[in-house]
Amino acid sequence: MNQNLFFNVLTFDWPDKPVTLYYSDTDNGKCQELYFTLFPKEAEALFPEIVRNSTNKLYTTFSYPAEGFKPLTVSLNSENPDLVKRYFNKQINYYFRHVAKKIVRTGFVNENQVWLKTTAGGTSLYDVYEKFSLKVQISLVSNHPELVLSYDGQSKICKQSVAELIQTISPKCFNRILHERNFYKWEKCQENELIEPENCYPVINKELEYALGIPIELPPRDNRYPTYLQYIQGFYKKYLNVSKFKKFIPLHDTGFLPVNPSRVDSTSEESNQLLFGNKQPDTTPKYALKKLKPFKRSPYPNIHLFFIVHSDDVSHTFTIKGHFDKGLDTFEGMQSYVGLYFHTAEGFSIVFKNKENPIPEIEAALSTRDFDPEIRYIAVYVTPYSKFEKDKPKREIYYQLKELLLKRRITSQAIDPQKMVEQGLNWRYSLPNIAVAMLAKLDGIPWRLNTPIKNELVVGDGAFKQVDIGVQYIGSAFSFTNNGRFNRFEYFLKDEIDILAGSIGNAVKTYATVNASPDRLIIHFYKTMSESEMEPILQQLEELGLDIPVFIITINKTESEDIVAFDNSWKGYMPNSGTFIGIGRDKYLLYNNTRYNGGPVSKSDGFPFPIKLKIQCSVPELTKDMKTVNELIDQVYQFSRMYWKSIRQQNLPVTIKYPEMVAQIAPHFTGNDIPPYGKDNLWFL
């Protein structure tokens, strides 16, 4: 189906004459620091002794002369592109701070985020701000310099100052604060005598939200594309498409940039196909499971289910068991839906009394149970606390119980009885998700990719930052065959790149013992992999005697601060599922959703934004072979259909999603490690 696609990108002209920029090798405290990758091309002409390496720095005021700074006149269209982006970002920053008088937050690479106070949604506790990012890029999707305009959602800023709040709220809750239109980290404020706590207003984060008793807002499932577009169009009209701004950045009058059709392609028709019972194909698990049944039932003939429940909630176990056995409205029960047959032995379930600290009580009860090695057990934990529980020790109980059960080789499923009661008949929509997750935890296969088996190994690495402890973890390395069959995973810390390499090497070795050595290794990574990170992996393959190409596909969400595309031919603006668009330098946008050939989309399926892919290879020329690139993008698209925690379509492939899920849970375990039993099954779903 034809689509009318356009980017959230505005193009502008190069300056019509050379510009003079000013540099020094000494910091005057009012300039911008430049690392060697940002040096101007003629740096040596100004500073003959300069060496382009990581130990040397230069400083610039850009176009403002200052004492001790040397002038250099250049044509921007032939200057170092990274430096040029900094120059344009500085121009934008100056305009919004000093001309438009707005609050501007500067990002990691000096991109600008403008905060606009809105009258809608504010309360007596806080003001609400709409956030817009402006990011300069050089000729990535056009023949001109480009300005990416994105809407980054809302943030709340407290109306009370730190000086007022600190009387009742711990300063540990403060992270970023606003002081006279500038943002600072709270710790840094303590070092600056010119910043008075009476004039510091904290940006509300999760900790402060809890402390102030602000209700948690669930993310909306509405279509965000029209709202997003409305916001950026309004911002463009009011702040960018005006003569004052165009004096700084001479935007073209053509508005948002149409996507050149030569940049657009789509995944194959077959990539939407999944296999269900008796290898019958279909595209939509929500309907296919009901009529076609799962690809493979649980292989265990003897499955026992038992409950772990607080004494106040015992009555809920009978309701849950009834829905599992006999169904609820359109959900016809576990046996009918996923072929899951289990027995619940009388007196085997565990009822605990201590709601605040139940683990010792549950552990004691487990040690009195006689677990038969010929039976596969699954525990249903009827949790007294929801996942949005504000009290951290109460949230930790879930993780402690998960670990306790894994040590006994028992997988588990948590159910929130409060949610079940509140939803009533609508809980029937949750039951298919629970059924699919339980089947996968018991080593069944809900569905499989409909793709020819190839001799290749796919490994996924994702990351999740633990807010509580401020450390980033990687759940790795999840290995799969190309048809989506899960093999095994390892888990370790972010900085253990050698262990990552060893883990990938082990995955290849294990694969090669069962199959022939793979023809290629494909790694789905959560960030761009540097040469130093790739080197140990190539070394591992060399030690295994394998001379095979290694593809690294970086997979990022594009929730904010990034380039996206819209379809003007559809009122919902979301491009068709499977559409992918080249956005320069081996990067692509990929749309994973349930809009097939312009058809309708159910609100319950969601309207995800695209993911952004970057393709690297140990044999660089292979990234220019479009047949190979199309195959790799097809594979990412297919792996997004292998998520077994829900019957809904996902936009992230499980190669990234599963490691991220593990990395959310495992840091809460004793010693930050996972019991061995948890390394080769999907207990975390």
Tens-digit pLDDT profile for residues 182-192: 888 888 777 77
Q: Mean pLDDT: which of 24-33, 45-54, 115-124, 240-249 is highest?
A: 240-249
215: helix, strand or coil: coil
How much is the pLDDT for 221? 76
From CA 575, how far away is CA 587, in angstroms rounded? 18
How much is the pLDDT for 441? 94
Does 476 score more than 80 pLDDT?
no
CB 362 within 8 A of CB 384: no
How much is the pLDDT for 565? 96
Q: What is the pLDDT of residues 318-346, one digit of tens each?
A: 999 999 999 999 999 999 999 999 999 99
How much is the pLDDT for 466? 65
Does 495 score more than 60 pLDDT?
no
Does 643 score more than 70 pLDDT?
yes
117-121, 386-390, 641-645: lowest mean pLDDT where?
Answer: 386-390
How much is the pLDDT for 560? 60
Q: Two tokens at 296?
A: 């493979």
CA-wise closest residue to 492 among 668, 666, 669, 680: 666
Does 260 score more than 60 pLDDT?
yes
The average pLDDT across 4-11 equals: 97
Calculate the alpha carbon distances from 242 to 93, 146, 193, 452 in Å. 16, 17, 39, 55
The average pLDDT across 73-96 equals: 94
From CA 236, how far away is CA 231, in angstroms rounded? 9
295: helix, strand or coil: coil
Calculate the alpha carbon distances from 194 to 7, 179, 441 in Å. 43, 10, 57
Does 27 score more than 80 pLDDT?
yes
Q: Which ranges of 35-181 does DSSP label H, i.e. alpha helix?
A: 43-46, 81-94, 162-165
How much is the pLDDT for 1? 61
Q: Two tokens at 439?
A: 């089947």
Q: Which ranges of 95-167 does DSSP label H, i.e. alpha helix?
A: 162-165
How much is the pLDDT for 477? 67
In this prediction, residue 456 has a pLDDT band, given cuts at 50, 70 and 90, of confident
CB 51 within 8 A of CB 184: no
Q: What is the pLDDT of residues 520-568, one digit of tens each?
A: 889 888 777 777 777 878 887 888 788 888 898 999 876 666 899 999 9
How much is the pLDDT for 152? 92
Burial class (CB in 10 A: 0-12, 13-18, 19+), 18: middle
From CA 389, how far away is CA 408, in angstroms rounded? 27
CB 334 within 8 A of CB 378: no
Does 465 score more than 70 pLDDT?
no
Does 469 score more than 90 pLDDT?
no
- Of the chain, the percentage scoring pLDDT greater than 90 comes to 57
How much is the pLDDT for 439? 96
What per-residue string of b and e applies to 112-147 under the rule 16 or more CB within 10 Å gives b? bbbbbeeeeeeeeebbbbbbbbbbbbbebbbebbbb
From CA 685, how far away is CA 678, in angstroms rounded? 12
From CA 82, how far away is CA 86, in angstroms rounded? 7
How much is the pLDDT for 471? 62
- Given strand 281-282, what is the order of strands in its sheet? 281-282, 274-275, 448-449
More confident residue, 492 or 648: 648
Q: Which long-range contacts (CB under 8 A, 24 or more apart) does 539-543 make?
A: 539/501, 540/501, 540/502, 540/504, 540/505, 540/508, 541/505, 541/508, 543/505
How much is the pLDDT for 257? 98
193-197, 237-241, 418-422, 649-653: lowest mean pLDDT where?
Answer: 193-197
- Cα dihedral 234→238→240→242 (10° resolution): 140
Full-model pTM? 0.89
Please give the full DSSP string across 559-597, using - where no structure is assigned.
SSSS--EEETTSTT-PPPTTEEEE-STTEEEE--SS--T
Q: Two tokens at 416?
A: 């929130």
More confident residue, 57 or 498: 57
In this prediction, residue 79 has a pLDDT band, given cuts at 50, 70 and 90, of very high
How much is the pLDDT for 663? 79
Q: What is the pLDDT of residues 583-608, one digit of tens each?
A: 998 999 999 988 887 777 877 778 88
Which stretches of 268-410 are assigned E, i.e. beta strand? 274-275, 281-282, 303-310, 350-352, 376-382
CA-wise closest residue to 209 among 172, 173, 260, 185: 173
- Of the chain, the percentage scoring pLDDT greater than 70 comes to 95
How much is the pLDDT for 269? 84
Which stretch of DSSP H or E encloses residue 629?
helix 626-639
How much is the pLDDT for 519? 86
Does 306 score more than 80 pLDDT?
yes
CA atoms within 13 A on the CB side of 570: 21
Does 107 score more than 60 pLDDT?
yes
Does 393 score more than 60 pLDDT?
yes
Does 284 score more than 90 pLDDT?
no
How much is the pLDDT for 621? 92
Burial class (CB in 10 A: 0-12, 13-18, 19+), 530: exposed
Q: What is the pLDDT of residues 366-376, one digit of tens each?
A: 999 999 999 99
Does 659 score more than 90 pLDDT?
no
